[in-house]
């Protein structure tokens, strides 16, 4: 299994001879307005894609499917809607099926619970995109467990540490967990994606799993940077358990 972080939560999963592009945000650097009610007003994305135009075109052409965990613009932006071929297979949560079809996509496959795609098996998991009223306003989000012979990958999606994540870890015993870190936060309320402390809880609940932390250094309300997370992990002596890839970096399992 090979994971390549493109940028933010955009991830290429190569598993069981399939290429799945997760949560494509494809806008050029600074092309979108910043997230409002945040501690700064930096336009997003704050970094460029680590791909040439030709490489991006090849990536979209050769991907066997797209997995959209939810349709917030930092996971599925206007540029992705324009660039992804309309007949590309799109996996999504049921709540986003109508929206994706309305955008012109013809091969939308919602996953309510489980779905088999050849020898690749999908299971949808729940999560919480924040706490209290903010968590409710953020709308539904999903994670997905991808299982193939010899591999179990849990893409947790935009969630904080919560009982739903704990239940997913207990139910599926993943070998690798991709966590959306960044500790994204508005001026009010608690973080809406995972903090360093949340990652500790994931590691305690899944003591044999390797973590891959993404969702940093790209969107202005994500206050936990790679540098801060690496320092935190080093102090906890857990840097070997949680990998923090750079944009464009590939990891093999």
What proportion of the chain, given as a percentage, has pLDDT over 90? 91
pLDDT at 96 over 90: yes
CA distance 32 to 46: 10
At 215 the pLDDT is 98
At 127 the pLDDT is 87
Domain of 35, CATH number, reads: 3.60.15.10
What's the Rg (C-alpha) of the chain? 17
pLDDT tens readout for residues 207-232: 999 999 999 999 999 999 999 999 99
pLDDT at 193 over 80: yes
- CB 193, CB 222: distance < 8 Å: yes
pLDDT tens readout for residues 6-19: 999 999 999 999 99
| Residue 101 structural domain | 2-244
- Residue 81 burial by Cβ neighbours in a 10 Å radius (0-12, 13-18, 19+): middle
**Domain-located, residue 252:** no
Q: Alpha carbon of 21 to those of 139, 155, 222, 245: distances in Å?
A: 22, 12, 22, 16
Q: How many domains does the chain have?
A: 1
**Domain-located, residue 116:** yes
CA distance 146 to 154: 6
State the pTM of this model: 0.96
**Domain-located, residue 253:** no
């Amino acid at each position: 299994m090979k994971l390549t972080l493109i940028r933010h939560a955009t991830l290429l999963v190569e598993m069981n001879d399939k290429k799945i592009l997760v949560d494509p945000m494809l806008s050029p650097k600074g092309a979108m307005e910043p997230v409002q009610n945040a501690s700064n007003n930096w336009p997003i994305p704050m970094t460029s894609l680590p791909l040439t135009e030709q490489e991006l075109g090849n990536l979209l052409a050769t991907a066997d499917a797209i997995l959209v965990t939810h349709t917030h613009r930092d996971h599925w932006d206007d540029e992705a809607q324009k660039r992804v071929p309309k007949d590309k297979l799109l996996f999504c949560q049921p709540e986003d099926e109508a929206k994706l079809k309305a955008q012109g996509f013809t091969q939308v496959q919602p996953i309510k619970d489980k779905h088999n795609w050849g020898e690749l098996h999908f299971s949808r998991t729940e999560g919480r995109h924040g706490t209290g009223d903010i968590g409710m306003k953020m709308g539904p989000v999903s994670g997905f467990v991808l299982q193939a012979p010899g591999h179990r990958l849990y893409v947790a999606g935009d969630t904080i540490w919560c009982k739903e994540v704990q239940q997913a870890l207990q139910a599926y015993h993943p070998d690798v967990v991709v966590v959306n870190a960044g500790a994204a936060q508005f001026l009010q309320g608690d973080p809406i994606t995972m903090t360093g402390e949340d990652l500790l809880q994931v590691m305690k609940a899944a003591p044999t799993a390797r973590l891959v932390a993404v969702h940093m250094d790209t969107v202005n309300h994500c206050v936990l940077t790679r540098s801060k997370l690496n320092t935190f992990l080093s102090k906890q002596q857990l840097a070997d358990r949680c990998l923090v890839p750079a944009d464009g970096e590939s990891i093999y399992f």
